[in-house]
Structures are given as C-alpha cells and as structure tokens.
Amino acid sequence: MLTAAIVAILVTMVLALIRAFLGPTEYDRMLAANSFGTKTVLLIALGGYALSWNSFLDVALLYAMVNFVGTIAVMRFFEYSTPVEPSEEGEQTS
C-alpha cells in the first residue's frame, strides 16, 4: 500500500513537471512548481516512514519551509514584473 502511494505521488509529480514546462502563463508554471515542491515533501516523508528513518521528517519540514520561502520570493518577483499573456491563435507578433 505504501509503495502504491509512492508511485501515485511520483506520477502526479511528473504531471506537475509537464504543467510547469508547458503552462500557458507564469502563474500556471508557478503553481505547478509549488505543487511539485509540496509533493516532494510528501515523498520525503513517505520515504522516511518506509525506511523507518525518523530524521527524514525533519528534512521534509525543512524542505517545506524552503519551498514556502521560495514561492513567496518568486511571487514577489512576479508582482513587480509586467505580465505576458499568451497570444491568441492566429494572431501574429512581429
């Protein structure tokens, strides 16, 4: 059962990476990257539980804090930059 949970998380991490690379806007990409970080925290915690290494929970908490601070920093950057919207189909940019 634990193996199935780890595999399911890995599959959703791959889907989040695909969304991060192909997202139409910066906000979609940021949301996918944040989702990937959250799933990484869960994966570290499950790995620590599976291996009976309690210190992995400390690593997972530290990674969660770094992920949160990184998300806030990137969103502050996006707050002061100009938004770039995807162009409409058929619209040519020159």
| pLDDT digits 0-9 by tens, 34-44 | 999 999 999 99
Enter the pTM of the model: 0.76
1 exposure class (CB count in 10 Å sphere: 0-12, 13-18, 19+): exposed
Nearest by Cα to 39 from 9, 64, 70, 66: 9
Q: What is the DSSP letter of 89?
A: T
Q: Of 15, 16, 10, which is closest to residue 30 (Cα–Cα)?
A: 16
Give the pLDDT band of residue 27 (cuts 50, 70, 90): confident
